[in-house]
Structure 1
């Protein structure tokens, strides 16, 4: 026991709030830059659900068939700034989610799971830390994610001739609580947490493992080039692992609910998974993969480069 404890570097608990704030700043910057791709991805994922025929301006609406067409369609039909509809709850969500997952992962890595005798952090520990950090962070941030999803779909609902459900963040919260109580704020939290665990495994764990590999096995230094290469790998792995859970999460969160807060279209995560694959095929679980990857790549790079630079400028050790 003493052998393992010796290899756990001492941590200053007072530094955790500082790291949380630094993470929140980097996440907010990355979210602001890449949010239109998140909106595009959500519209693509919801598309195809069983619903009445859609009409826009007296004509039957054509389905979106790709990331670019979806984005262009939103701008033409709803306006340029609708690409950022739901950005406020998205930033709030990332402040909680990214802040908690990063702080949790670092705490587990440096003080609980600990590094091996040779100073390396084993892959299985990195996987465990990444998934636990992501799951905890997303559970706490799930209400903000629910609000974001519903706000993102409002523009499309109005164009389809459907009555508006919400007009602002406050009204969304009031509506959700009135329909399903406080528990209603965590509607869809299971696929949400599952997705977050997988995305965090792909993003956070991959970044840490690849970065340490590059530092130990190449001539690269702990600089922007190393951070950039690590973030490219993390974005690809995160998109591949997280897309199916993201599709299910979006559909469960977007569905209409009864007076008891129960979903009218899907009963559970498994029910949504089964109905989606039966009606639309297995590849429907990868709807929106291109915009997810196209977003995660710049998001991951923006976040990690900003995060590492902010830590360096404020005198905090490199991640």
Structure 2
């Protein structure tokens, strides 16, 4: 039941935040491996990107990749939050004195995130391809010509086999390890702190909301550089064997991006990441916490 509640909570959040994911993906691919000032900026900021995409690609384009995004969120966060929830409910994250152990919480969050992200990696790759697809006048990054999620998965599988479906999976794991451990550790720690200080009444929805807001800020700051290169690893063109033509892996992508685009290149799309990751983290963790609280309250 923990896995089902976690997956549903993440899908609920994804419905609201997917347009921001589309904007984030395109801003991260804009000016890829080009020095600042040498390329045309189709998207100047988050709000300009929304207007541009809606005007050129149509309003429906703001929900591009929604199907794989929902499926990925259900798989990834169902496993991630469900596993972490079971560890928390089993008392494995607390010391003998009953206080939350930061190292255990961070390790559990990272491990749970790796499991979910690796299994859902093919869906995430297709989501990235679909969200990057745009009209030629505002296109950024490599342009795949997929017609939908199932067609994309089938085409990649036929061309490059099972290995091709998991291209970029290992390179994307640092993003998930850092993001997941930061998110769940800060959420649990903040929630524990608020509860101990009795800032709000016991079981109040405000406890989960404030903890999720703090967690969202921490995640964006820690994860954005790895999110940028992960998007590029998944979206890069490939040769006939399915090998990436631009990057050899996560480290190579980080070095190339930093060398050609500078430190600000590592944080491309951070505004979109904040507006997307912040609300998504808040909504998914809040829904997850509320569903678990209600379930365990009424099944005792």
CA spacing shift, 1:157–1:290, aligned 2, 3 Å: same
- What secondary structure sits across from 2:246 in the alignment? coil
| Cα pair 2:132 2:143 within 8 Å, conserved | no
Separation in structure 1 between the aligned mates of residue 254 and residue 65 of structure 2, nearest angstrom: 26
Separation in structure 2 between the aligned mates of residue 316 and residue 142 of structure 1, nearest angstrom: 34
**Greater relative CO, 1 or 2 (CA 8 Å, sep 6+):** 2
Show CA shifts across 1:148-185 (max 9, x none).
00011112458559875211112211221133211111
Instruction: For 1:216-295, list aligned pairs within 5 A.
Output: 216-220=196-200, 221-295=202-276
Instruction: For 1:16-95, list aligned pairs within 5 A.
Output: 18-50=1-33, 62-95=41-74
Which runs of 5 or more structure 1 residues have no equivalent in the other structure? Answer: 1-17, 52-59
Show CA shifts across 1:124-166 (max 9, x none).
1111111111111111111110010001111245855987521
Residue in structure 2 matched with residue 141 of structure 1 by the alignment: 120
Residue in structure 2 matched with residue 11 of structure 1 by the alignment: none
1:310 aligns to 2:291 (yes or no): yes
Residue in structure 2 matched with residue 13 of structure 1 by the alignment: none
| Cα pair 1:227 1:304 within 8 Å, conserved | yes
1:105 to 84, 103, 108: 84
Instruction: For 1:124-163, list aligned pairs within 5 A.
Output: 124-156=103-135, 160=139
Q: Alignment length, in residue pairs?
A: 293
Runs of 4+ in 1 over 6 A off after TM superposition: none
Which runs of 5 or more structure 2 residues have no equivalent in the other structure? Answer: none
| Cα pair 2:11 2:70 within 8 Å, conserved | yes
Residue in structure 2 matched with residue 193 of structure 1 by the alignment: 173
- TM (norm. structure 2) is 0.91
